Structure 1
Amino acid sequence: MAFKKEKPLHSIIAGSTAGAIEAFVTYPTEFVKTRSQFGGKKERPLTIIRETLKTKGVVGLYSGCTALIAGNAVKAGVRFLSYDYFKSLLADSEGKVSAPRSLLAGLGAGMTEAVFAVTPSETIKTKLIDDAKRPNPQYRGLIHGTASIVRQEGLQGIYRGLFPVMMRQGANSAVRFTTYSTLKQFVQGAARPGQTLPAPITFGIGAIAGLVTVYTTMPLDVIKTRMQSLEARAQYRNSFHCAYRIFTEEGILRFWTGTTPRLTRLVLSGGIVFTVYENIIKVLKRIDTSES
């Protein structure tokens, strides 16, 4: 798997832009997924959408959206930058990166983004969504919600669920990047050797990477959501206790609750992120070439 290192600034700009666009386009599916994973009565995705539109309008489907867009932009920038960095460390003397090493680079990228971007934004987003379904929400938006959480719980309040987030993001990036890189290499080698893939094919490969990622990492996502809910401190001692209670009290299938909306989001996400990223990288390279 030949590897060509991108400029760090290019990776940050392209990754952040791709992450922000993807978050806004796919947010309603994230909202439905998160709502369906809370404890209590199990709600179907269509029921959540219908009730939210009825009581809160379209704006209700975007509760906590600002937190995710900001976090996703930073997350994607950190993800692509760190993945590029780890791949450069793991490349052999010929500049090639094997699938196992690509998996390891993705794992490192996921862990990095979990600490610096994902956990705070996901925790705030989850608490805002959980609060929004109450008759009298206590948070008035991203800034007020964040300030209230920090005031009430300290910095630990926005880093709740760090372990399951690190596990989920590490698995997400490892599976997604490895699947994407392997499929991209196969398609380029079989059909278009040496040529840049067109956007529709890039989107399709990214979508398949998202599909594979969903089914392999869904249990970690459910645990993450439960650990970041408003009632987490009263119900769970830690992530392992949370997993144990879900398994013993609700059954193993509960770990795949929210699969449909998350599948929708990550299939679209994989297509959008990789397509936007690759195209912005091309534009930035052309700008560099014209200026040199």
Structure 2
Amino acid sequence: MSGERPSNYLFDSVALHESLRRNKAVVCAISASYISTFAGYPLDSIKSRLQTTKTPISIARLAALVYREEGVRGFYRGLWIPLMTISFVRAASFTIYTRTKEYFRERHMFNRDRMLDVAATGGLGGALSGSLISFGSAPFELVKVRRQLEYSIAASKGVRLAKPPNTIEAIRDIFRTNGLFGLYTGFRLHFVRDTMGTALYFFEYDGLRHIMGRAPSGEQGETPHWLPLHASLVPFCCGSVAGVTSWALIYPLDVVKTKVQQRALAGERKRTVFETLHRLIRGPDPNAPKPLLLGLARIYRGLGVSALRSVTTHGLLWTFFDLTSAYIDGLPRAASDDSIEQ
């Protein structure tokens, strides 16, 4: 035998395995993202509603209200938007993040044995990833917010919805009212939020994984004696902690962004970021401001459900990311040319 490969080599299992290895970060990110997004989306929908309600309401009561008025579909309104974009966003985000870390590693710019250096490379990769991805994700998130808040936006306009518009109709309405750039309503806030949030997220995740025993090669070693977790639980715990804490730090910015977008979509008078933040904290009446602590509580309204969403989505994301990565690493490799010729 000459060792020539069959004509359908591109479609055989060996070629598929090699392709999966070359694109491992993308494959892991996409597959894990679909699962985590579907699991956490109902909580994200409730979070958006809590952020824009004018009167305090419990999570359980709001969930019951959504179910009574909109049914189960109300919790998944606009789901196909993140599912459609998640392949682009996650694939691009993880590619930029991993390539940035490889760039620093190849130039020996950070010490891979020190926790702060490991965290810093992750943070820099996350900041670059978040800033670049925001240009593509902003329009889709605006439409998602519009779909989640259809009823409150209609109420602001004095309209009672018999049937909410579908996604295509929502996009057409935004375009008709504000033009093409209307899809970038609130973009500056979106850009800052994603840049800061993604940087904090990867900074914390890589730092925590280093503390929990991940070797520079990427393999999971023994966890520290003061937190003896099973190796399979490390990605979930690190992803959950990084997701919750980074989100809590930028949560006020997300609340302001959602409120600015809601007002713009409802056709209400435009307010500056600081005016919006001040009104959220101290109330609309300057002569009778709300107590500061009460205002801060309103800013963080929905943080509980948002934290639960972060635990669910980011814990599952990294768990399935690592499982998929381990599966790809364990696939049979192509035989060497020498062995084929023999």
Q: Give the secondary-structure state (helix, strand or coil) at the position aligned to 1:91.
A: helix
Q: Give the secondary-structure state (helix, strand or coil) at the position aligned to 2:213.
A: helix
Match of 1:212? 245
TM-score, reference length from structure 1: 0.85
Structure label with greater radius of gyration: 2
Match of 1:121? 140
With 246-255 and 102-111 compared, the bigger mean Cα shift is at: 246-255
Structure 2 residue corresponding to 1:244, chosen from 274, 278, 301: 278
- Between Structure 1 and Structure 2, the one with more helix by share is 1
In structure 1, list runs of 5 or more residues that go unmatched. Answer: 1-5
Match of 1:3? none
Structure 1 residues 145 and 215, CA gap change in structure 2 (3 angstroms):
same
Q: Matches of residues 92-131 of structure 1 in structure 2 within 5 Å?
A: 93-94=107-108, 96=111, 98=117, 99-117=119-137, 119-131=138-150
Q: Matches of residues 253-264 of structure 1 in structure 2 within 5 Å?
A: 253-264=297-308
Q: 1:260: how far off?
A: 0.9
Structure 1 residues 273 and 153, CA gap change in structure 2 (3 angstroms):
same
Match of 1:35? 49
Q: 1:25: how far off?
A: 0.7
Match of 1:21? 35
Match of 1:176? 201
Match of 2:258? 225
Q: Give the secondary-structure state (helix, strand or coil) at the position aligned to 2:23.
A: helix
With 73-82 and 193-202 compared, the bigger mean Cα shift is at: 193-202
Letter in 1 for 2:66: T
Structure 1 residue corresponding to 2:80, chosen from 66, 84, 107: 66
Pair 1:268 & 2:312 matched:
yes
Contact between 1:35 and 1:130, CA under 8 Å: does it hold in 2? Answer: yes
TM-score, reference length from structure 2: 0.74
Q: 1:71: how far off?
A: 2.9
Q: 1:70: how far off?
A: 2.1
**Any runs of at least 4 consecutive aligned residues in structure 1 with deviations exceeding 6 A, and if so which?**
none
CA-to-aligned-CA distance 1:51-87 (integer Å, 9 cap, x gap): 1111111111111211222233332222211111222
Q: 1:213: how far off?
A: 1.5
Contact between 1:111 and 1:170, CA under 8 Å: does it hold in 2? Answer: yes
Q: 1:235: how far off?
A: 3.7
Pair 1:145 & 2:170 matched:
yes
What is the percent sequence identity of the aligned residues? Answer: 21
In structure 2, list runs of 5 or more residues that go unmatched. Answer: 1-19, 155-159, 222-229, 284-289, 337-342
Distance 2:103 2:55 in 1: 48
Contact between 2:214 and 2:220, CA under 8 Å: does it hold in 1? Answer: no
